[in-house]
Structure 1
Amino acid sequence: MSVEVQVVREATDEVVEAIARLLPELSSTAGAPDEESVTRLLRSDANTLLMAGIDGRAVGMLTLIMYPLPSGLRGRIEDVVVDEAARGHGVGAALTEEALRLADAAGVRTVDLTSRPSRRAANRLYERLGFQARDSTVYRSVVRP
């Protein structure tokens, strides 16, 4: 079983369907995307959407965000999700490694991500790929409920 990772460049019906199918495994509160919201995501210069496939079927996705700050170009990985049936087959690793490769090629200094403690397998993966836990507190403000 070979995992293929590609940068998504267009909000095709297949891409919108794949995101709609995968997103509930990540968030029970995120609404199903439509073509317009996926197009908006892809048009942002800061975002790179990666989609992983096995045998032509999308089984995972990740969003890499790269943004300039006074301290240098930074990166962030968000919305990593792997189809439950495809877990344990290297999909998360393939997505994350490609994101790190793209960030490095763009000159990003650091890449951050967050992961809930309950996601033990994901946390082991991130540590295996060189991420280190930081002593930090994450704050969130809900702007639009």
Structure 2
Amino acid sequence: MQIEQLKNIDNTVLKAFKKLIPQLIDRNSYPSREELQEILQAGNTFLFIARENDEILGTLSLVVYKIPTGKKAWIEDVVVDENARGKGVAASLVYHALKVAREKGIEKVDLTSTPARVAANRLYQKLGFRKRETNVYRFTF
């Protein structure tokens, strides 16, 4: 398995996101070529994919930003195809994202995961993430 940073969006990538994103958000919605291209061009979001034998098994987004309190990073949208789960794909994606974050001078990386995703929460703790006592709020337009 190889972890790589997406540099361009081809039909294989589009097909993978069409399959993967609904497995994450539980609705049949996924980003278009233009939306993915916009993410790549933003410069502060890195899309990583796990690939094996020309098949994309999973994806992860790393968002890096600078604010007055320092450089920060979030891991978002970690999803592994249901047929590839339990094979270390998510762990490989997370380790790769952490390596990139460290290379960019980030000292702390955050992520969120709903409590219902028991296996994902167990994995993140196994990888060294610690649960924070905080409230996460969302405003929806």
Q: 1:48 to 1:30 in 2, by over 3 A?
A: farther
Q: Could you tell me how far apart the structure 1 residues matched to 2:86 and 2:110 are?
A: 23
Q: CA deviation at 1:30?
A: 6.2
CA distance in 1, matches of 2:27, 2:112: 18
Match of 1:8 among 2, 6, 9: 6
**Matches of residues 95-110 of structure 1 in structure 2 within 5 Å?**
95-110=93-108
The root-mean-square deviation of aligned C-alpha atoms, in Å, is 1.1
Q: CA deviation at 1:61?
A: 0.2
d(CA) in 2 for partners of 1:82, 1:10: 20
SS in 1 for 2:72: strand
* 1:117 partnered with 2:115: yes
Q: In the TM superposition, what are the counterparts of 1:29-40 in structure 2 within 5 Å?
A: 29=27, 31-40=29-38
Using structure 2 for the length normalisation, give the TM-score: 0.96
Question: What does 1:1-80 align with in structure 2 at a 5 Å threshold?
Answer: 3-29=1-27, 31-80=29-78
Unaligned runs of 5+ in 1: none
For the Cα contact (< 8 Å) 1:65–1:78, is it kept in 2? Answer: yes
Which secondary structure does the structure 2 equivalent of 1:108 belong to? Answer: coil
1:79 Cα deviation from its structure 2 partner: 0.4
Aligned counterparts of 1:43 and 1:131: Cα–Cα separation in 2:
29
Contact kept in structure 2, 1:6 and 1:51, CA below 8 Å: yes
Identity %: 39
Cα deviation for residue 100 of structure 1 reads 0.1
In the alignment of these two chains, the number of paired residues is 141
Q: State the Cα distance separating 1:27 from its structure 2 match.
A: 0.8
Residue identity opposite 2:37 in structure 1: T
Cα distance between partner residues in 2 of 1:22 and 1:29: 11
Deviation at 1:41, TM superposition (A): 1.1
User: What do residues 40-87 of structure 1 show as CA deviations (whole Å, max 9, x unaligned)?
Assistant: 111111100000012220010000000001111100000000001100
Amino acid at match of 1:119: R
Verify the 8 A CA contact 1:72 1:109 in the aligned structure 2: no
Residue in structure 2 matching 1:87, options 85, 88, 91? 85
Q: Can you give the 5+ residue segments of structure 2 that lack an aligned partner in the other structure?
A: none
TM-score scaled by structure 1? 0.93
Partners of 1:19 and 1:41 lie apart in 2 by 13
